[in-house]
Amino acid sequence: MDTILVVNAGSSSVKFQVFAIDGDGRLRRQIKGQMDGIGSRPRLRATGAGGEKLAERAYPIEAVADVPAALQVAGDWLRDEREIAPLAVGHRVVHGGPDYDKPVLIDHGIVSRLDRYSALAPLHQPHNLAPIRTLLANFPNLPQVACFDTAFHRGHGDLADFYAIPRRLHQEGVRRYGFHGLSYEYISKTLPKVAPEIADGRVIVAHLGSGASMCALNNGRSVESTMGFTAVDGLPMGTRPGQIDPGVILFLTLIKGMSPNDVQNFLYRDCGLKGLSGVSNDMRELQASDDPNASFAVEYFVYRAALNVGMLAAALQGVDGFVFTAGIGENSDSIRARIAERLGWLGIALDPAENARHASKISRPGTTPVYVVPTDEELMIAQHTLALLWSKRPSTQAKERAS
């Protein structure tokens, strides 16, 4: 059976999923797995379509020292034990810069261009590109597709896209991009099925996880986002501060004597919930802690989330619906409730019982509809990869596939 492999690589893990292509061209999730603990306690875990365990293996540190090695281990397992030989591989790439507003078939030149944006997404971009380079070197004829977290937002109008800086810098690519676009695109495409009452309206989607942002959708299209030039902007996150006065950066460099690299590491690794609490970057640990600084970090997250909803509501000139998604948004009923409490002025009021049982619709009757919609970035990547793969085939083959 033909398959698509989806790869989402981070600094210490490589997540992967395999989608089978049914006869009618639909994608069916077949395997979900990851190599985590890279360079410390490497482990391969994988489950099948029904959640059954397919693999649970530990490896010595020296066997899986980096992302390419992890990809090699996962690839060997898929090929040798699961007999998976994908038609193509789809990758999540966080930053597409000004050049890429849709998925692209990868070659060495594109990888070089995407590497230019590594400084704009240091927690993601270098690691997104590592498995791409490995596969290019070892399987040069295997089609690879880059799917960008910035692409969904590229239709923003100039008022949302520009910074108040000289236009020449905007022309060089210094603009507000927005991120988590694959998640928002999935939600946009899913709303007509799960929440038709709001799908064509003005909807704010809150992607709340270790990385967090919000997006304003109008008729399913992104019109504004809390993130900008980089993925450090907007909401406070696990280790990133979110919105911060540029003067703080000047203070750190001019007064505190920090180098650019020091500042980059500080902003991406030592701030956010971790910096505020001094306890953890994990919302679950913070909510379970009796440390007052942990409580403050949680309340700060809630407060800033509500503030950003106000900004997006102004961009939309009203709100017809609200959606929670991603790790915190999908799983923390208490965070959902605390954010909703601050949004009563938008007509938002949760049904406590529905929220506690993590129902799809959690708002009270007669109030602004609020939904919890699990995101699926990997399926979005697989769909983009398959569509691009078919578009490159001769038209007669594409028609045969579609028939």
Helix (H) or strand (E) holding 389: helix 377-391
One-letter amino acid at 1 equals M
Q: What is the pLDDT of residues 134-156, one digit of tens each?
A: 999 999 999 999 999 999 999 99
CA-to-CA distance for 188 and 165, rounded, in angstroms? 32
How far apart are alpha carbons 367 and 384 in whole angstroms? Answer: 36
* pLDDT for res 402: 39
CB 155 within 8 A of CB 176: no
What integer pLDDT is reported at residue 290 of this predicted model?
A: 96
Write down the mean pLDDT value for the chain: 94
SS3 187: helix
CB-CB contact of 343 with 306 (8 Å): yes
pLDDT of residue 372: 98
Whether the per-residue pLDDT at 399 is higher than 50: the answer is: no
pLDDT tens digits, one per residue of 49-106: 999 999 999 999 888 888 888 999 999 999 999 999 999 999 999 999 999 999 999 9
What is the total residue count of the chain?
Answer: 403
Does the pLDDT value for residue 395 go beyond 80?
no
pLDDT band at 3 (very low <50, low <70, confident <90, very high): very high
- Average pLDDT of the segment spanning 107-123: 93
Residue 5's contacts (CB-CB under 8 Å, 6 or more residues apart) are 16, 17, 18, 78, 84, 86, 88, 89, 90
331/232 Cα distance (integer angstroms) = 23
Locate tokens 């650019």: which residue?
260
pTM of the model: 0.93
Lookup: tokens for 59: 């490896």
Q: List the 13-21 sheet strands across, edge first.
A: 53-58, 43-48, 27-36, 13-21, 3-9, 88-93, 144-148, 104-105
Confidence of residue 397 (pLDDT cuts 50, 70, 90): very low
403, pLDDT greater than 80: no
pLDDT band at 394 (very low <50, low <70, confident <90, very high): low
Distance in angstroms (rounded) separating the CA atoms of residues 281 and 238: 4
Residues marked as catalytic: 149
Residue-level pLDDT at 400: 43
Q: How far apart are CA 372 and CA 361, in angstroms?
A: 6
Least confident of 22-26, 197-201, 279-283, 380-384: 22-26
Answer whether 225's CB lies under 8 Å from 179's CB.
yes
Contact yes or no for 217/227 (Cβ under 8 A): no
**pLDDT tens-digit readout, 318-346:** 999 999 999 999 999 999 999 999 999 99
The rounded percent of the chain whose pLDDT value lies above 90 is: 87
Residue 401 pLDDT class (50, 70, 90 cuts)? very low
Contact 403, 390 (CB under 8 A): no
Q: What sign for the dihedral angle of Cα 157, 159, 163, 167?
A: positive
Least confident of 80-89, 177-186, 228-237, 391-400: 391-400
Q: Which of 315, 293, 297, 372 is CA-nearest to residue 340?
A: 372
Percentage with pLDDT > 70 across the chain: 98
Provide the sign of the torsion angle of the four alpha carbons 314, 317, 321, 326, taken in this order: negative
Q: Average pLDDT of 273-289?
A: 96
Instruction: Write the CA distances from 207 to 120, 212, 395, integer angstroms.
Output: 20, 6, 38
Q: Output the six-digit token pair for 113.
A: 């261009």
